[in-house]
Amino acid sequence: MGTLKTGRLDLNDHRDMESCKEALLKIASRQSSYYALRFKPEYYFELPGAKPPRSAGWYVMLEAMTQVYVGRSDNLNSRLNSNQGSTDNFAKKLRTSNSERNFVKKFLEIGHFKKLRECVFIRDEFSNQSASTPMKLLTRAKRT
């Protein structure tokens, strides 16, 4: 197999991948990393009664234990819990991505998804949990 690299991260380096896996599992094993997710008509997601950190990071939308969407944000609270940050293509015509989130919203609205939740990974926390130097560099890189 060829060499798989993304940014500064060598996906073929077993140590880097183990470090990444351990850091993710540690964060995902904490109940405090999870938030209930609700669709708020007409266009928005909200996390009822919760405010995730205003930090940069990644989020995974889950239906039961099944991943339905993965995203990233420079401000998790704004992206997941506000009328501005959680608005997607059909409400913001200038936004060129995230049409997948529209499907998730519609499935939730029509009852196809019964109970969505978010698992939140704070970028700096992930970087601190990871023993891998390339992983630390990757998580501190500016979004392009």
pLDDT tens per residue, range 60-101: 989 888 888 888 888 888 877 766 555 554 555 565 556 677
Q: What are phi and psi of 12, to 5 degrees?
A: -90, -10
Distance CA 122, CA 74 (A): 10
Q: What are phi and psi of 41, to 5 degrees?
A: -55, 145
What is residue 22's three-state secondary structure? helix
Low-confidence ranges of the chain (pLDDT < 70): 1-9, 42-43, 82-99, 129-144
Backbone angles phi, psi at 44, to 5 degrees: -115, 155
Whole-number Å distance between alpha carbons of 43 and 106: 10
pLDDT of residue 95: 56
- As a whole number of angstroms, the distance between CA 116 and CA 25 comes to 20
DSSP class of 14: H
Of the candidates 51, 105, 67, the residue with the CA atom closest to the CA atom of residue 59: 67
pLDDT at residue 29, rounded to an integer: 93
* CATH architecture of the region 5-140: 3-Layer(aba) Sandwich (3.40)
What are the residue ranges spanned by the domains of the chain? 5-140
Please give the Cα distance from 39 to 16 (Å, whole number): 37
Round to whole Å and give the CA distance between 100 and 38.
16
